[in-house]
Amino acid sequence: MAVIIIAIDALEYNLVEEFDCKNLKQEVYGKTDISEFSQPRTMVLWSSFLTGKNKEKEILSLGDKEMWHYRVNVNETFVSKFKNPKVIDLPGFSYDLEQHDKERILLKKFFEEEDKEKIKEEYNKLALEHHKKIKKEFEKALKENHDLIIAYFSVVDVIGHLNFGNKTLMKILYKEMDEIARKARELGKTVLVISDHGMKAIGKFGDHSDYGFWSLNRKIDLGKPKLTEFKDIILKKLKEDN
């Protein structure tokens, strides 16, 4: 019995609707409630998703820089309840820190330096190359015998920050994620698509919006669940329901 979780950073409910991504929407979908958090911070939200506990205070106490090194205690997460899990690149768990450091450095450079188009090009390329690598790892994992796969895709968030006003590019990325969901759905296993937060336009740029996205290929109406409720949902409703 297996659960596949496609964790997509900053997947925005309104764009999933606008671009009509049927495989991301699956059978049931909606927004998540992240109002218990003071701000939609990536590291805080994924760590809270994994543990079912609000990790904001603990993570913020580490400071802005150290925050990215944070790792949850595996025994606190739902991952520990599975026999042969595979977790790919998830913040707070198995994050590729070097890649995400490079992205943050280029993002900073973009706002500080003159040659913005060139820096943006370099930034987008870096994100896309990483995406290809993660996609490959995910496709490999789909063929293996895991009872849980969590694959984290950052490309919609990373590219969205500098390109959210570019609807053509955003649509290409959403269709790419829709295709990834389609491949996972083909296997007949339980598929949960989840985002930490969405994205809203700030001029031509993108900033985090204060709700996330969820969908399931099982007819379980979750309403507007809190991100911290998914640990229970996964263990009590999805783990045995295949």
Q: State the residues that interact with Zn ion by CB under 5 A.
A: 9, 42, 157, 196
Q: Which is nearer to Zn ion, 65 or 219 (CB)?
A: 65
Q: Which is nearer to Zn ion, 142 or 158 (CB)?
A: 158
H runs (alpha helix) in 144-166? 155-163
Give the span between the Cα atoms of 203 and 198, in whole angstroms.
16
CB of 240 to Zn ion, least distance (A): 30
CB of 89 to Zn ion, least distance (A): 13
Give the span between the Cα atoms of 213 and 37, in whole angstroms.
16
Residue 32, H or E segment: strand 28-33
- One-character DSSP codes across 212-240: EEEEESS-----S-BGGGHHHIIIIIISS
CB of 90 to Zn ion, least distance (A): 11
Q: Which is nearer to Zn ion, 12 or 196 (CB)?
A: 196
CB of 30 to Zn ion, least distance (A): 18
Give the span between the Cα atoms of 85 and 234, in whole angstroms.
13
SS3 36: coil
Q: Which is nearer to Zn ion, 85 or 92 (CB)?
A: 92
CB of 59 to Zn ion, least distance (A): 13
Q: Which is nearer to Zn ion, 60 or 235 (CB)?
A: 60
Minimal CB distance to Zn ion: which residue?
42
CB 219 within 8 A of CB 30: no
